[in-house]
Chains A and B, each alone.
Chain A
Amino acid sequence: MNKLVRYSAQAVFYALFFVPLAYVSHQPNYRYMEDDIAVLKVAVRHAGEIIGECKSIVGESHGMRPSSMVQAVEVCPRERSPLELELILDGETLYRAQVAPSGLHNDGISSMYQRFELPAGPHHLQIRMNDDIKVDGFNWQFEQDINLQPAQVMVASFKEGFRIQ
């Protein structure tokens, strides 16, 4: 092959390599979600109430010592209640779960995140949570009519009560 033919053929091969490469590096478009869908994200980061009461241990194990040396010692349990969570949309339960506390001794924060794809339009949203197993039923409640726009992201989070953004 003479040089000119060879270089021209090389140019063709470079084009055959790079043109499709440039194309697939951003195309074709990928449809991730339909246009008339909105997203509701629920994220809760909250420490449940401590399970059990602090106990004073004065006079038990220190019984042998002179009374002037005995200090009142309180032992408090560290374990926290899990969170009971329920999300009800238009009267239908979308999500119900128990979120365990983190940490080896179940003494950390409970953390959850859920994402729901919902048809855009008006909805009735209820969120209920119990963070204390000593209490029956839900001690945190939230209820609101919402109107989701297409492609809107609505976030429900918790900080001393539920709120939506």
Chain B
Amino acid sequence: MKSLLKKGFNALDSLFSKVFTPAWNPMYQLGALSFFYFWIVAITGVYLFIFFETSITGAHASMEYISVEQWYLGGIMRSFHRYASAAMGVCVTLHLVREYAMDRYSGVRWFSWVSGIPLLWLLFASSIGGYWLVWDIQAQYIALLTAQWFDWLPIMVDPMASNFLNEAALSDRFFSLLVFLHIGIPLSLLLGMFIHIKRITGARTNPAKGLAAGTLLAMLVLSLWQPAMSQAPANLDMTITEVGLDWIFLNPYTLIGSWGPGQTWALLVGLSSFLTIIPWLPSKREKQTPVAVVDPENCNGCGWCLADCPYEAVTMKVHDYKKGHQQSVVDPDLCISCGICAGACPSSSPFRHVDELTTGISIPGFHIKELLSLTENKLHGLSTDKPRIMVYGCDHGSVLDDMASTNIATISMPCTALVPPAFIDYVLRKDLADGVMISGCCEGDCHYRLGNEWMNQRFSKERMPILRTRVPRDKVRLRWLGVQGTKQLGREVAEFQAHLEEEQLDFVELSNE
């Protein structure tokens, strides 16, 4: 099922990248979009709170006032409040399914995964609390079923339902409690959201500006066209027969009614517990290779690996023996074994005059000296009848298996940002190849979050270690096409080869003249 989901997401990713561009692709920023919707809900909520009346008779009437009399501002705020909550519900669900489908929930990521689950409860509770405040017939339905649900628990001494027996039993105090909860629960949600991203370096909490603008515009149009309204006011002296429901957040309520409160508890608590243990369930996914290791002899404490680690696994300490220097330290509980740190280390240069290439930090599963020997061995065997190309790729992006030929060498590794820019310089200067192609995950959707972004920045000299100016840029290509772009990468490699061949011919002609 997971591979089917993954295929589905890959297809959607490609479609959205075409329509929205990779930078605006909403599939790559579902977590950031969830944050964005949260802020919309929070800001509009403050506005609604100013006009909301905390009383049995005032609640519904004040919401009517906001929607009808003040449709041009309050009404729009209310619609934004409702639709952003719903959109957050959808985005969070998609985010969960996507992280699962893309195998981004186990190992070091267990923390983000597990801390995400309480957020689901808090998000649902926040939304349900909001609908309750309106005190229309949907709120009445919520009140009755919530009471039925909680009264099932043996901890309830006084049945909650006795607060909603009839109109006479209802008290204004209950609305004060509801308002308190509708502020407190979203605040806990926000706190939970920050804990959720705590272990992630520079977590993406803001969507791309273009996507944010498009979303706001779409919500404005929707709010004018279909403003959020209340249903008929609640009346506890009458039962509810038919009621309009928010199916995104209230679908568990239909279970309480039809299935029973105990069964609903069992299902929801069971489902949450099952979700919680998913990262530790046996699965076919590859085991994580050993974590990064620091070699103090080759570490001068520059901090580039710290800056590039996507999971905050690297910190610095005073060097073991080099006076006045610092030294990197890897926290094994946080390291995901991507190898991006090795690509960042200035000691990972094959130009160094050492018998055996060593470096300051590297992952044992794919050491930098292994990358060098693989590169040299594969390239030495290539035929020169056509331009030779070195294709570096990653295990999560475009598949390189069928791409190798007599003139093309391929090497796949955990993340292409493991390749130090000096390697590309080395390959071309030593004339081991005529061109270098760097491939990997889709732009904006690196399996290790930041690999392709760091690589782009190293190439454009915005990030250390840079790809030196002397490296001819027309002999190097970066193509982030993902698994779904495997065929396209094959075509682009062929096209790159043709381009290099043309250049070689031009060069020969020029020299002859």
Contacts and interface: CB of A to CB of B under 8 A. Distances in A.
A22 interface: yes
Contact of A14 (B159, B215, B243): B215
Nearest to B246: A25
A108 B165 CA distance: 22
23 contacts: A15-B218, A17-B218, A18-B83, A18-B222, A21-B87, A21-B248, A24-B86, A25-B82, A25-B86, A25-B228, A25-B246, A26-B231, A29-B242, A29-B245, A30-B254, A32-B240, A32-B243, A41-B165, A45-B162, A102-B157, A111-B162, A151-B241, A152-B239
Interface of B: 16, 18-21, 82-83, 86-87, 90, 138, 141, 148, 151, 157-159, 161-162, 165-166, 168-169, 214-215, 217-219, 222, 226, 228, 231, 236-248, 254, 257
Contacts of B248: 21, 24-25
A160 interface: no
Interface string A103-144: 000001001110100000000000000000000000000000
A10 B246 contact: no
9 shortest A-B CB distances, which residue pairs? A14-B218, A113-B159, A26-B244, A9-B19, A24-B247, A25-B86, A30-B245, A39-B239, A113-B161
Contacts of B148: 115
B238 A26 contact: no
A112 B151 CA distance: 10
Contacts of B83: 18, 21-22, 25
B243 A18 contact: no
Contacts of A152: 237-239
Interface in A1-28: 1, 6, 9-11, 13-15, 17-19, 21-22, 24-28
A157 interface: yes
Contact of B257 (A27, A32, A153, A157): A32
A1 B159 CA distance: 61
A43 B239 contact: no
Contacts of A102: 157
Nearest to B210: A10
B241 A33 contact: yes
Contacts of A15: 218
A54 B349 CA distance: 93
B243 A43 contact: no
A112 B239 contact: no
Contacts of A14: 214-215, 217-218
B19 A21 contact: no
Contacts of A113: 151, 159, 161-162
B19 A6 contact: yes
A27 B244 contact: yes
Contacts of A35: 241
A37 B241 CA distance: 9
Contacts of A53: none
Contacts of B247: 24-25, 28
A25 B222 CA distance: 13
A47 to B, nearest CB: 13
Nearest to A1: B18
Nearest to B164: A41
Contacts of B165: 41, 43, 153, 155, 157
A137 B434 CA distance: 102
Contacts of B159: 43, 111-113
Contacts of B214: 10, 14
B369 to A, nearest CB: 44
A134 B152 CA distance: 31
Contacts of A61: none
A60 B245 CA distance: 69
B18 A151 contact: no
A165 interface: yes
- Among A11, A26, A28, A34, which residue has the most Cβ atoms of chain B within 10 A? A26
A24 B240 contact: no
Contacts of B243: 29-30, 32
A111 B158 contact: yes
A38 B165 CA distance: 14
Nearest to B15: A13
Given A21-B87, A24-B247, A113-B162, A31 B241 contact: yes
Nearest to B165: A155
B483 to A, nearest CB: 22
Given A14-B215, A32-B141, 7 more contacts: A6-B19, A24-B86, A26-B228, A33-B240, A113-B159, A152-B238, A155-B169
